[in-house]
Amino acid sequence: MTTGARTDGRSLRTLCIDIGGTGLKAMIVSAHGKPLSERTRIETPRPATPRAVGAALQKLLPERTLFDRVSVGFPGVVVDGVVRTAPNMHPSWAGFDLATWFLRTTGRPTRVLNDAGVQGHGVVQGRGVEICVTLGTGFGFSLFVNGHYVPNVEFGHHPFRKGKSYEELLGDAALKKRGKKRWNRTLGQAIDQLQHTFNFRVLYLGGGNARKVDLPLPRNVKRVDNVAGLLGGVKLWERD
């Protein structure tokens, strides 16, 4: 019986999924990072339990003969494909084996990583200290040293100012509550703080709210397209 999967590494098609606090996104990408499908998106169901999100994902998944492997970005700590935390989803994710769920559901090998980690894979150049911050429902953070990913550095939950974390001051709820002007001012202070903490060579700003950034950025801080969150999925298969 044929499963429709290709085996030649150069032509493998990756289904890239981004699980977010507000939206679930999918796109099929070629081994060279070329989009092979439209980006589709549906709302994240609330409460965002594994069962509800699983049912929503089933609707998002394309016909399985169209892809050979799956990459998933998840908004929390993920170790060996198993979710440990999901601050903007639901506590019942802790211990959920998401990689196995995808493998069983699609019949395709699956890699799952923290969402900011996936995004970072799509944008880093592989030299020195590079950081990717994603501005969306939460505050995503990923750290790369000479192209090597340091997994699950949950910097968004570190204290930043006045007893509040980066996520509390720069997540989507804060943007809505405090307004774009104050949010931008705080973002400038956060970038400064991160520069002094990590002495990064480059910091990339991604995520849905990166388009709300309206402040002069230092030369080593670059805004990146949110689609990198999906394209980065292909790079996960270039790691050992």
Omega of the bond leading into 47 within 30 degrees of 0 (cis): yes
Q: Does 172 bind ligand BGC (CB under 6 A)?
A: no
Q: Which of residues 2-21 bind ligand BGC (CB under 6 A)?
A: none
C-alpha closest to that of 38 among 47, 27, 49: 27
Instruction: Give me the numbers of helices (H) and strands (E) for the chain, helices first please.
Output: 7, 14
Q: Does 206 bind ligand BGC (CB under 6 A)?
A: no
C-alpha closest to that of 101 among 67, 62, 72: 72
Q: List for the chain the helix, strand, coil content (%; round to 5).
A: 35, 25, 35
User: Quick one: which of 50, 76, 81, 232 contacts ligand BGC (CB under 6 A)?
Assistant: 76
Local structure of residue 61 (DSSP, 8 states): P
Tokens of 57: 């994902």
- Specify the stretch interacting with ligand BGC by CB under 6 A; choose among 6-14, 62-70, 133-141, 198-206: 133-141
Site string for ligand BGC, 135-164 (x = CB under 6 A): -x-xxx-------------x-x--------
Q: Does 122 bind ligand BGC (CB under 6 A)?
A: no
Question: Which CB sits closer to ligand BGC, 31 or 98?
Answer: 98
Q: By the criterion CB under 6 A, which residues form the site for ligand BGC?
A: 75-76, 87-88, 114-116, 134, 136, 138-140, 154, 156, 167
